[in-house]
Structure 1
Amino acid sequence: MNGRGQAAENLAAHYLAEQGVEIVARNWRCRFGEIDLIGRDGDTLVFVEVRQRGSGRYGDAAASITAAKQARLIATAQCYLATLSRLPPCRFDAVLLDGAAPPRWLRHIIES
């Protein structure tokens, strides 16, 4: 991961912690892909995709989460869940950063 990507994930982790989400794993990988952040929001396990776009030339950060990317995230989350002894309630979130430099526009999308 490049420095810019790491900085975006750090910013997202900090933001989520401020919202009460405890980060339990970063960059969790399996054969299907990687999940940027995994957290706990109360009893709910949260799988977080962090996306950053410096300019809107090719769409905003949300536009970069394609159907194929979503399928890889689901498969990767299923791998993670297989490592647990008990299945908790789960959700997928996206933390989206648009803009090349501070102040960035940060959006948090929560999906159940």
Structure 2
Amino acid sequence: MPHGTTARRALGRYGEDLAARHLTSVGMRILDRNWRCQDGEVDIVAADGDALVLCEVKARRASSYEHPMAAVRPEKAARLLHLAERWLEQHGDPPPGGVRIDVVGVLLPTRGAPLLEHVRGVT
């Protein structure tokens, strides 16, 4: 495996850990991490009150040309809604609060603490 792939995976894992910590700190309950099915993967599945939240995490180094949040385009959000249906097939009916897609962007500056942005309901 090339070094770049290993470094990218480590960055992604670090971003997901920060995102999970953030979601918990704002009162959400983590139900699943890196959940996979034949149609794809969801970084974090969480409960926010009575809503099911599928959270996409995007981590980037500050030197990257694209802001992390720009990486989640409408096609990606639509795919996440499809994956929500798959998750519910395995875990039960939709919750009373419905299903929401959130995105957490993590920007790692050269110096200092990571910058985290949480956008709720991107669809």
TM-score, normalised on structure 2? 0.81
Count of aligned positions: 112
Alignment of 1:27-106 (within 5 A): 27-55=34-62, 57-88=64-95, 89-101=98-110, 102-106=112-116
* Cα distance, 1:71 vs structure 2: 2.8
Aligned to 2:5: none
Q: Structure 2: state its 5+ residue gaps.
A: 1-7
Deviation at 1:79, TM superposition (A): 0.7
- Asked if 1:110 corresponds to 2:117, the answer is no
Q: Deviations over 1:57-107 (max 9, x none)?
A: 432001111233223212211111122332111111111112345412211
**Structure 1 vs Structure 2 CA RMSD:** 1.8
**For residues 13-44 of structure 1, what are the alpha-carbon distances to aligned partners after superposition, in whole Å with 9 as ceiling and x for unaligned?**
00110000010100011111110000111111
Q: Report the residue type matching 1:35 in the other structure.
A: V
**Structure with a larger share of its residues in helix:** 2
Report sequence identity in percent: 34
Letter in 1 for 2:80: L
Provide the TM-score with structure 1 as the length reference. 0.88
Unaligned stretches of 5+ residues in structure 1 = none
Aligned counterpart, 2:13: 6
